């Protein structure tokens, strides 16, 4: 599933091509994705100008004159900007056709993505209103993690993957941040002190920033908006490295299942 760095890479790749462009028409070939595509999308968006593309967690928000297109890539969704006469391929479910004879095309083989047309404040939309802070913002730090962890008995890995605590820390980046911070993924969230949470918050910021800089992590389905792949997987210290030496020279990386997700860590330097 595309995570925050992949979604941010998509946002940065798409925005220069669509910002300031007027929408000619919207073509919905498959109205049933994870949720039904909003009927109002094809009715209300044509004739409006897309002013900006923003990201909230793993959702993209296309700001138009009277509302926002809210898009989630799901597990295998892809956005491409292509010429308007580009032949339609399998799983090309929605086209937003622009007046400059290009179009924004949403392809989703598994149909776990979603498209909504929102009026009013998009942050009050039910899927966005209860989300935690952005991990790269000033609102997210060790003090926030410590306060939210009080009394929590869950494993710290599951804790930082909770979108109500902080958004965008998926499985890969949780493993990498915990390794960087030297914290065992099974450690009880409520028993970690402020200093260690400060290190963890900084590790989360660093891991995500580095992943964004190289276009994310390509595993299975994800490909960027330009058709290229992300390269952060070349820098992974823990994730997917079961049995390989820890980069710190401690010993082999171990894999365990935590919260039904494969978790990779060093049992020596992560305590």
* DSSP per-residue codes, the chain: ---HHHHHHHHHHHHHHHTTEEEEEEEES--BSSSBPPHHHHHHSTTPEE-EEEEETTEEEEE-SS-EEEEE-TTT-EEEEEETTPPP-TTEEEEEEETTSEEEEEE-SS---EEEEE-S-GGGSTTTTT----TTSTT-SHHHHHHHHTT--SBHHHHHT-TTTSSS--HHHHHHHHHHHT--TTSBGGG--HHHHHHHHHHHHHHHHHHHHTT----TT---TTS----GGGG-SSTT-BTSBPTTSSSBBEEEEETTEEEEE-TTT--
Candidates 22, 198, 261, 267; catalytic one: 261
Instruction: Judge whether 3 counts as a catalytic residue.
Output: yes
Instruction: Judge whether 241 counts as a catalytic residue.
Output: no
Instruction: Judge whether 11 counts as a catalytic residue.
Output: no
Instruction: Judge whether 205 counts as a catalytic residue.
Output: no
Feature table: binding site for DNA: 91, 110, 152
Candidates 56, 58, 148, 241; catalytic one: 58
Cα distance between residue 271 and residue 257, in whole Å: 17
Cα distance between residue 174 and residue 211, in whole Å: 12
Cα distance between residue 100 and residue 91, in whole Å: 24
Candidates 3, 6, 8, 176; catalytic one: 3
Residues recognised as catalytic: 2-3, 58, 261
């Amino acid at each position: 599933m595309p995570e925050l760095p992949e979604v941010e890479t998509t946002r940065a790749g798409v925005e220069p091509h669509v910002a300031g462009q007027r929408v000619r028409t919207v073509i919905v070939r498959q109205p049933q994705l994870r949720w039904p595509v909003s009927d109002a999308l094809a009715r209300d968006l044509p004739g409006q100008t897309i002013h900006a593309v923003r990201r909230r967690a793993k959702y993209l928000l296309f700001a138009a004159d009277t509302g926002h297109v809210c898009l989630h890539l799901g597990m295998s969704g892809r956005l491409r900007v292509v010429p308007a006469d580009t032949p339609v391929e399998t799983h090309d479910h929605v086209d937003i056709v622009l007046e400059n004879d290009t179009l924004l095309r949403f392809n989703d083989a598994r149909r776990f993505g979603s498209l909504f047309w929102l009026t009013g404040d998009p942050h009050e939309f039910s899927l966005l209103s209860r989300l935690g802070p952005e991990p790269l913002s000033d609102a997210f730090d060790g003090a926030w993690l410590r306060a939210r962890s009080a009394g929590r008995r869950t494993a710290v890995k599951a804790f930082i993957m909770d979108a109500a605590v902080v958004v965008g820390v998926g499985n890969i980046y949780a493993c990498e941040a915990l390794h960087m911070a030297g914290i065992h993924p099974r450690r009880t969230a409520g028993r970690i002190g402020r200093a260690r949470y400060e290190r963890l918050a900084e590790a989360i910021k660093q891991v995500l920033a580095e992943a964004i800089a190289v276009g994310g992590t390509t595993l299975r389905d994800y490909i960027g908006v330009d058709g290229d792949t992300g390269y952060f997987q070349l820098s992974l210290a823990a994730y997917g490295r079961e049995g390989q030496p820890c980069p710190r020279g401690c010993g082999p990386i171990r894999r365990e299942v935590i919260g039904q997700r494969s978790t990779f860590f060093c049992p020596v330097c992560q305590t």
